[in-house]
Amino acid sequence: MCGIAGIFNINHQPVAHSQIKAMTNSISHRGPDGEGQYIDGYVALGHRRLAIIDLSPAGHQPMQTREGRFTITYNGEVYNFKELRIQLEALGYQFRSNTDTEVVLYAYTEWGCKCLDKFNGMFAFAIWDKKEQRLFLARDRYGIKPLYYYNLDKSFVFASEVKAIIASGCYQSKLDKEGLIEYLTFQNFFTDKTLFQDIKMLMPGHYAYIDIGGKFEKHQYWDFNFCGSLQISEEEAVEETDRLFKQAVQRQLVGDVPVNAYLSGGIDSGAITMVASKFLPHMQTFTIGFDLSSASGLELSFDERAKAEHISYLAKTEHYEMVLKAGDMERCMDKYAHHLEEPRVGQSYPNYYAAKLASKFGKVVLSGAGGDELFGGYPWRYFYTNKPIVFDKFIDSYYLKWQRLIPNSQLKDLLAPIWEDVKHIWTRDIFADVFKTIKKDTLEASDCINYSLYLEAKTFLHGLLVVEDKLSMAHSLETRVPFLDNNLVDFATKLPSSMKISNQFEMANENDLASKLQANKSGKIILRKTLVKYLGKKIVNTKKQGFSSPDASWFKGESIEYIQKELTNSLPIFNQDAIQKILNQHVSRKQNNRLAIWSLLYLNKSLRVFNHECS
């Protein structure tokens, strides 16, 4: 796991060493074990190394092929690199290291962009072709590793994090107002936009070329296919899920440093820990708990330390915990905003602390991310119907029921100072565009569930992965996600939706905890039946609890002074009266606005940290 950066000056202006060095310095947290820069006139590649496979100097990057034609800067892990190396050696390639980086480099040399179909892992990398004078960039299927780029003013600049693009000196931080609308609607980005105007993200499952003439081409090489077409008995489904799950976990234990695990108390991280601990007898596990002394209602169940401790006992791990209090949010906000850069999905500052804890004991940690999205873990968020529905009606109905961070009717008021600049944005169309590659005129009832799963995997999962990467790498920690093994994903997406979800529920507001708790035992049917052998019925049948702090309570009590101070000093892009209304509704218990309050807090902080020009 590492950090990458680069500049390609289309106007043929030479890249200064100080320029690429500034970029790699800005992401030194991603790779404290080494750094490197490669300059070829108007092209520069930079790298920061977190050494995990082959700790020797042979793994130094940027790395070149023997004849010097191709040079790579690479971030990630390709877990099947040893098998691919055998294939390449049979074709005559000779290797100087034991790294997966060199395998990726020669795989591209041999197969070009088709090499991406062969990789089972997580990655973002760039390869400079000196002969063709062309830069190739690629990102893994699911978007586990991020890759940002800026392509204006005759310079193409890319990096693992936005801050490196800013450090290049080619870009002046400016707010993308259209991106802001997208975030305030979905608490996420469904497109390739960011909060930084003209900085985009290469989307998951995509690669791109840019040549010496400035021609930029993007191509999609993979996408989720929740077809549910597999004809299989329940017994066979459990057996195959188990086989692929164990294979996925074992694959991701590769490395020359210890591998540990997060342990939330849920079945996904719990089962990963149970399987991994069979191969790693001295495994360490990590849990974040919450001080619930001021919590109320359903948030009193948010601390899952007891469940995690029980699983640690079963797996015989060395277990560590950290307990967060209301004040821990404000304590980390400056550093948190600096590392996260752009907000996605929910309140993720507990993840920042989890990574901080885990990083004290090693460089690699396993995570349970992906299990919910693949196997139907959010029944309250899916669109249900008992009869065929035309696509446009499906979109209209689904969009209306979809939990939006700030309802469309309130956005105009909140963003009144800049509304004229963004009123042309139709977020319903952004929502519909998620399905553009799988759109069909009429959807059957089962199609609607599979389309819902597709939306979650393409948007919510991607947001989770970007957040996890940023916050773990803030502490020089690599997070691996066994559920996103290619073979397991391919199988899970083919399973019928009836093997994932047992009952139909009305879609619930994301703040409606009671509805979520009612629905969540009806999801992940086949996965629960598979994992019972590792965790037992009591744990597997426990109601799902997301990893969330009791902020609805804290925002009314212990954190209210901090929130008032921050939100009464909001940036001029926001209508202060609208913000106060959102806050008053929450404090008076008229409406649970915890997600909106959190997002406004973060936006305020982030836009200041990065000194966005908001005019």
CA distances from 152 to 8, 197, 215, 588 (A): 11, 11, 12, 48
Residue with tokens 């009590």: 557
* Both structure tokens of 534: 């590792």
CB neighbourhood size of 521 (10 A): 17
Residue with tokens 């690429």: 20
Q: Which residues are CB-neighbours of 285 under 8 A, at least 6 positions away?
A: 260, 261, 262, 263, 273, 308, 312, 315, 317, 318, 319, 320
Alpha-carbon dihedral sign for residues 122, 126, 129, 133: positive
Residue 546 CA to residue 250 CA, distance in Å, equals 26
pLDDT at 567: 84
pLDDT at 514: 45
* Both structure tokens of 413: 């008021």
Candidates 3.90.1010.10, 3.10.20.30, 3.60.20.10, 3.30.70.1230; CATH matching 2-220: 3.60.20.10
**Alpha-carbon Rg for the chain in angstroms:** 24
Residue 142 CA to residue 248 CA, distance in Å, equals 15
| Amino acid at position 525, single letter | I
pLDDT at 383: 92
Complete DSSP assignment for 351-408: HHHHHHHHHTT-SEEE--TTHHHHHT--GGGS---SS-EEHHHHHHHHHHHS--SS-H
- What angle is formed at CA 558 by the lines to CA 557 and CA 563, rounded to 5 degrees? 85
pLDDT at 585: 87
By C-alpha distance, which of 34, 48, 50, 41 is closest to 7? 41
| Amino acid at position 330, single letter | E
Residue 361 CA to residue 303 CA, distance in Å, equals 23
Do 453 and 373 contact (CB within 8 A), yes or no? yes
Alpha-carbon dihedral sign for residues 359, 364, 368, 369: positive
Residue 136 CA to residue 125 CA, distance in Å, equals 8
190-201 as b/e, with b when 16 or more CB fall inside 10 Å? beebbbbbbbbb
> For the chain, what is the total number of helices (H) and then of strands (E)?
25, 19
By C-alpha distance, which of 186, 64, 93, 94 is closest to 463? 186
| Amino acid at position 20, single letter | I
Which 8-state DSSP code applies to residue 485? -
Q: What is the pLDDT of residues 104-120, one digit of tens each?
A: 999 999 999 999 999 99
Residue 328 CA to residue 344 CA, distance in Å, equals 20
Do 105 and 117 contact (CB within 8 A), yes or no? no
pLDDT at 347: 85
- For the chain, residues classed under CATH 3.60.20.10 are 2-220
Peptide bond into 62 cis (omega under 30): yes
3-state secondary structure of 491: helix
pLDDT at 568: 82
Residue positions annotated with a catalytic role: 2
The residues of the chain scoring below 70 in pLDDT are: 1, 293-301, 403, 503-521, 544-553, 556-557, 612-615
Do 29 and 163 contact (CB within 8 A), yes or no? no
Q: Which residues are CB-neighbours of 235 under 8 A, at least 6 positions away?
A: none
pLDDT at 517: 45
Residue 563 CA to residue 561 CA, distance in Å, equals 5
